[in-house]
């Protein structure tokens, strides 16, 4: 009995000792793990090193096997491909469908009648693509109809071009206008300016290396589904009638059609009449007779199209934030294309798919973002940013209250050179990111070094245009935005030649430019999703506004107009931006993790996020109330050289110098000043 108790006592002591060893080992291991587990820098570097050009090339090859115009079966197949890719990575995936009005061609012809009685029917299909499934060249939403008249060259179709034509004695009324793309005007503006002068129809061509290429595009005015202006075009939702004035004003009043440069040359070389202005002639890349017309040849023009309802599909992947799931960082690219879309837009789609792959890899390594990341694949952008606009309109309150930023990439790679556009609070962050990315065209240099050398310093464009899916986010919802491009003005834009073969032969043979854009895009989102304090700096915004004010001051010199309201508001924004930056620096070095400090960070982040919303005005721009941003947005007159303060630019373009016009400009100055004040107040800690 004594022996048994002795053994039992020994056993208890042994187990106690072993238990103590186990507990000590557990806490030692836990402490080691807590101090050695991956950091944000580890995930940052892992994202960079996981890039592969082969993967990007594979995605692009698959996306461009067939033409995929929005609303068609091949376009649905690309949506399913993107969806299945997201799902294969175990990302939370969903699709938002919208029923919208799209436009397709049925028949078109352009026949030239020569004075000697001969006729020539212009080829309107690009050689080699007649049976490829590529849609015939057309202008979406152009009205159907016919026109017969003498052709007349209108240059870019700008106001000053019509003044030059008038000075040469050319009467354009009743003519068929021949217009070359460019000059800062949209297709819609070109057609409507021609219609206002009595032109019967417009033939539009693009000068470039591919003389047989034809640039398709939309001529609709405004963004989004024309039948649901201001609200999401959900299935079984409200739709306006086709004959509603709000719908009819979205479409041009005369017919138009794109033609190739080669076809345009046939017409232009046959013109007689007054000589072309020297400035026009010296800038032209196509052959002409050097004359303006009209005639003596005649053009018989016919276009028949159909507007019909179609379902478009936006595809999303969501990576839910671990600490601030109600704060969204959105990355977006449209998926639909006029033809094969290797550059526009699927170089960007390939980048989006690769970011999804690399983020999924980080998740397997243990990463979860602080804030929610949403990857957005838009549909029907080519028809007027329809997919993204419908989604923004449907989710306006959520986006306005929860969106940190929208990062857009459309044509990710068009050729050499880095061309970013942002709202100014991104300037410092973007510059910092480019120092981490290898330049694709220079051995041993960073993207930052090549970019600054090419531009002789940092050159970041702004987002006044409405040429991609950032427009509804910034101009309507006030979400800070970025738009990234590698290369500019590629020669196969919207033509049947925008194919995988063009990309591997000309655009990016080794896909290293794709790697660079993907790197910048993905790292921007990582910083915005993971930084405890949002990396926004509003001092560059204030500096930009000061520059704009100096330009306006010179433009308005000698007129009874005061810029003091904007000057004072900008000074207030600059002072508040400096205070906010100092506050952010203090909170960054503060390592305390209690609830009070976390709340301070949250409050500061909200102020940084909401400041951009301050630039919105509820009434919107005069004549275009959907566009609400008072600093960046479209001008009613596309010829204005002002790319900022669109309300002021519109008022100036209408002004002839009278007191009434001066008062209109002054009112827009006050509206701009109040917007800047609202942004400054949103940044402030106290009311």
Q: Which residue matches tokens 């590698």?
A: 486
The continuous run of DSSP H or E covering 311 comes out as: strand 298-319
- Give pLDDT, residue 36: 41
C-alpha distance from residue 228 to each of 99, 251, 389 (Å): 10, 14, 10
C-alpha distance from residue 80 to each of 71, 75, 244, 338 (Å): 13, 9, 35, 18
Is pLDDT above 80 for 33? no
* C-alpha closest to that of 185 among 172, 175, 176, 196: 196
Is pLDDT above 60 for 34? no
Angle formed at CA 348 by CA 346 and CA 353, multiple of 5 degrees: 90
Query: Does residue 601 contact residue 608 with C-beta atoms inside 8 Å?
Result: no
Measured over the CA atoms of residue 357, residue 360, residue 365 and residue 367, the dihedral's sign is positive
Name the token pair of 643: 């790319």
Q: Please, what is the average pLDDT of the chain?
A: 92
pLDDT, mean of residues 392-407: 98
pLDDT, mean of residues 341-356: 98
Is pLDDT above 80 for 640? no
Summarize pLDDT for 130-172 with one digit per residue, the tens: 778 999 999 999 999 999 999 999 999 999 999 999 999 999 9
Using pLDDT thresholds of 50, 70 and 90, give the confidence band for residue 638.
low
The continuous run of DSSP H or E covering 377 comes out as: strand 371-378
* C-alpha closest to that of 357 among 91, 65, 78, 93: 91
Query: Does residue 147 contact residue 111 with C-beta atoms inside 8 Å?
Result: no
| DSSP 8-state class, residue 616 | B
Name the token pair of 277: 């202005």
* Helix ranges restricted to H, 327-385: 346-364
* C-alpha closest to that of 358 among 103, 574, 18, 45: 45
C-alpha distance from residue 286 to each of 154, 165, 272, 442 (Å): 15, 20, 17, 34
Q: pLDDT over 70 for what percent of the chain?
A: 94
| DSSP 8-state class, residue 624 | B
| DSSP 8-state class, residue 119 | E
| DSSP 8-state class, residue 380 | -
Is pLDDT above 60 for 625? yes
Summarize pLDDT for 164-220 with one digit per residue, the tens: 999 999 999 999 999 999 998 999 999 999 999 999 999 999 998 899 999 999 999
Cα Rg, the chain, nearest whole Å: 29
Name the token pair of 99: 């029923």
Is pLDDT above 90 for 23? no
Query: Does residue 406 contact residue 392 with C-beta atoms inside 8 Å?
Result: no
CA 442 – CA 446 distance, rounded (Å): 8
Q: Which residue has the higher pLDDT, 71 or 661?
A: 71
pLDDT, mean of residues 403-414: 98
Is pLDDT above 60 for 31? no
Q: Which residue matches tokens 């924004």?
A: 573
pLDDT, mean of residues 384-397: 98
Q: What are phi and psi of 229, to 5 degrees?
A: -70, 115
Q: What is the 3-state secondary structure (H, E, C) of 167-190?
A: HCCCCCCCCEEEEECCCCCCHHHH
Provide CB contacts within 8 A for 647, sequence distance 6+: 617, 621, 622, 630, 668, 671, 672
Summarize pLDDT for 282-340 with one digit per residue, the tens: 999 999 999 999 999 999 999 999 999 999 999 999 999 999 999 999 999 999 999 99
Q: What are phi and psi of 113, to 5 degrees?
A: -105, 115
Q: What are phi and psi of 428, to 5 degrees?
A: -65, -40
Is pLDDT above 50 for 413? yes
Q: Which residue matches tokens 């671990």?
A: 322
The continuous run of DSSP H or E covering 40 comes out as: helix 40-49
Name the token pair of 154: 């209108």
Is pLDDT above 90 for 564? yes
Q: CA end-to-end span of the chain, whole Å?
A: 83
C-alpha distance from residue 616 to each of 153, 231, 383, 476 (Å): 41, 18, 25, 8
Q: Render 254-290 in DSSP notation, one character per residue.
A: SEEEE--HHHHHHHHTT--SSBPPHHHHHH--S---S
pLDDT, mean of residues 46-53: 96
Q: Which residue matches tokens 């010296």?
A: 282
| SS3 label, residue 106 | strand
CA 236 – CA 577 distance, rounded (Å): 46
Summarize pLDDT for 268-293 with one digit per residue, the tens: 999 999 999 999 999 999 999 999 99
Is pLDDT above 50 for 103? yes
Angle formed at CA 579 by CA 575 and CA 584, multiple of 5 degrees: 145
Name the token pair of 408: 């857009």
Q: Which residue matches tokens 């219609």?
A: 195
Q: What are phi and psi of 356, to 5 degrees?
A: -60, -45
| CA atoms within 13 Å, Cβ hemisphere of 92 | 7
Cβ neighbours, 10 Å, residue 289: 17
Summarize pLDDT for 214-236 with one digit per residue, the tens: 999 999 999 999 999 999 999 99
| SS3 label, residue 167 | helix
Is pLDDT above 50 for 22? no
Name the token pair of 627: 């566009």
CA 145 – CA 669 distance, rounded (Å): 44
CA 45 – CA 523 distance, rounded (Å): 10
C-alpha distance from residue 20 to each of 31, 32, 232 (Å): 17, 18, 64
CA 511 – CA 57 distance, rounded (Å): 7
Catalogue the active-site residues.
381
Summarize pLDDT for 446-469 with one digit per residue, the tens: 999 999 888 777 789 999 999 999
Query: Does residue 672 contact residue 570 with C-beta atoms inside 8 Å?
Result: no
Q: What are phi and psi of 476, to 5 degrees?
A: -110, -40
Weakest mean pLDDT among 329-333, 390-394, 470-474, 586-590: 586-590
The continuous run of DSSP H or E covering 333 comes out as: strand 324-334
């Amino acid at each position: 009995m004594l022996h048994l108790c002795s053994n039992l006592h020994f056993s208890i002591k042994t187990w106690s000792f072993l238990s103590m060893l186990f507990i000590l080992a557990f806490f030692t291991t836990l402490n080691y793990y807590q101090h050695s587990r991956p950091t944000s820098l580890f995930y940052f570097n892992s994202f960079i090193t996981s890039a592969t050009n082969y993967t990007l090339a594979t995605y692009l090859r698959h996306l461009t096997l067939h033409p995929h115009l929005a609303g068609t079966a091949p376009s649905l197949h690309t949506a399913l491909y993107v969806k299945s890719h997201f799902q294969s990575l175990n990302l939370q995936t969903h699709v938002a469908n919208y029923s919208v009005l799209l436009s397709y061609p049925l028949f078109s012809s352009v026949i030239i009648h020569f004075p000697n009685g001969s006729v020539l029917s212009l080829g309107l299909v690009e050689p080699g693509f007649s049976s490829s499934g590529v849609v015939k060249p057309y202008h979406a939403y152009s009205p159907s109809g016919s026109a017969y008249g003498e052709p007349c060259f209108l240059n870019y179709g700008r106001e000053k071009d019509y003044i030059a034509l008038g000075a040469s004695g050319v009467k354009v009324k009743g003519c068929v206008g021949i217009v070359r793309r460019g000059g800062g005007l949209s297709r819609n503006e070109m057609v409507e300016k021609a219609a206002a002068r009595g032109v019967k129809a417009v033939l539009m061509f693009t000068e470039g290396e591919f003389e047989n290429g034809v640039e398709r595009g939309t001529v609709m005015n405004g963004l989004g589904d024309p039948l649901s202006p201001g609200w999401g075009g959900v299935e079984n939702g409200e739709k306006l009638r086709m004959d509603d004035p709000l719908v009819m004003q979205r479409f041009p009043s005369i017919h138009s059609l794109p033609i190739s440069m080669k076809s345009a040359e046939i017409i232009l070389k046959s013109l007689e009449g007054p000589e072309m202005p020297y400035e026009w002639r010296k800038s032209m890349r196509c052959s002409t007779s050097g004359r303006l017309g009209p005639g003596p040849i005649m053009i018989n023009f016919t276009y028949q199209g159909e507007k019909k309802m179609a379902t478009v599909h936006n595809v999303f992947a969501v990576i839910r934030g671990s600490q601030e799931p109600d704060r969204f960082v959105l990355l977006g690219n449209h998926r639909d294309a006029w033809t094969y879309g290797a550059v526009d837009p699927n170089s960007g789609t390939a980048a989006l798919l690769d970011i999804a792959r690399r983020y999924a890899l980080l998740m397997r390594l243990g990463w979860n973002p602080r804030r929610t990341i949403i990857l957005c694949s838009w549909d029907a952008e080519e028809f007027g940013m329809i997919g993204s606009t419908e989604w923004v309109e449907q989710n306006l309150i959520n986006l306005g209250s929860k969106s940190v930023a929208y990062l857009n990439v459309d044509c990710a790679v068009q050729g050499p050179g880095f061309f970013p556009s942002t709202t100014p609070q991104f300037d410092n962050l973007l510059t910092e990111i480019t120092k981490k990315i290898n330049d694709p065209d220079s051995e041993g240099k960073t993207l930052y070094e090549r970019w600054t050398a090419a531009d002789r310093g940092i050159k970041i464009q702004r987002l006044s245009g409405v040429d991609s899916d950032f427009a509804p986010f910034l101009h309507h919802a006030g979400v800070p935005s970025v738009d990234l491009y590698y290369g500019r003005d590629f020669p196969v834009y919207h033509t049947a030649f925008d194919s995988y073969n063009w990309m591997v032969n000309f655009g990016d043979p080794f896909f290293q430019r794709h790697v660079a854009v993907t790197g910048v895009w993905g790292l921007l989102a990582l910083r915005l999703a993971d930084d405890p304090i949002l990396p926004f700096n509003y001092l560059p915004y204030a500096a930009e506004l000061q520059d704009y004010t100096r330009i306006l001051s010179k433009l308005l010199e000698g007129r009874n107009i005061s810029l003091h309201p904007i000057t004072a508001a900008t000074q207030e924004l600059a002072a508040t931006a400096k205070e906010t930056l100092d506050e952010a620096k203090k909170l960054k070095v503060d390592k305390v993790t209690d609830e009070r400090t976390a709340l301070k960070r949250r409050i500061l982040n909200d102020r940084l996020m909401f400041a951009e919303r301050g630039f919105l005005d509820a009434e919107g721009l005069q004549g275009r109330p959907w566009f609400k941003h008072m600093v960046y947005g479209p001008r009613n007159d596309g010829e204005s050289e002002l790319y900022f303060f669109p309300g002021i630019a519109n008022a100036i373009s209408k002004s002839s110098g009278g007191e009434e016009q001066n008062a209109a400009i002054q009112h827009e100055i006050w509206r701009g000043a109040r917007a800047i004040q609202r942004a400054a107040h949103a940044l402030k800690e106290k009311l």
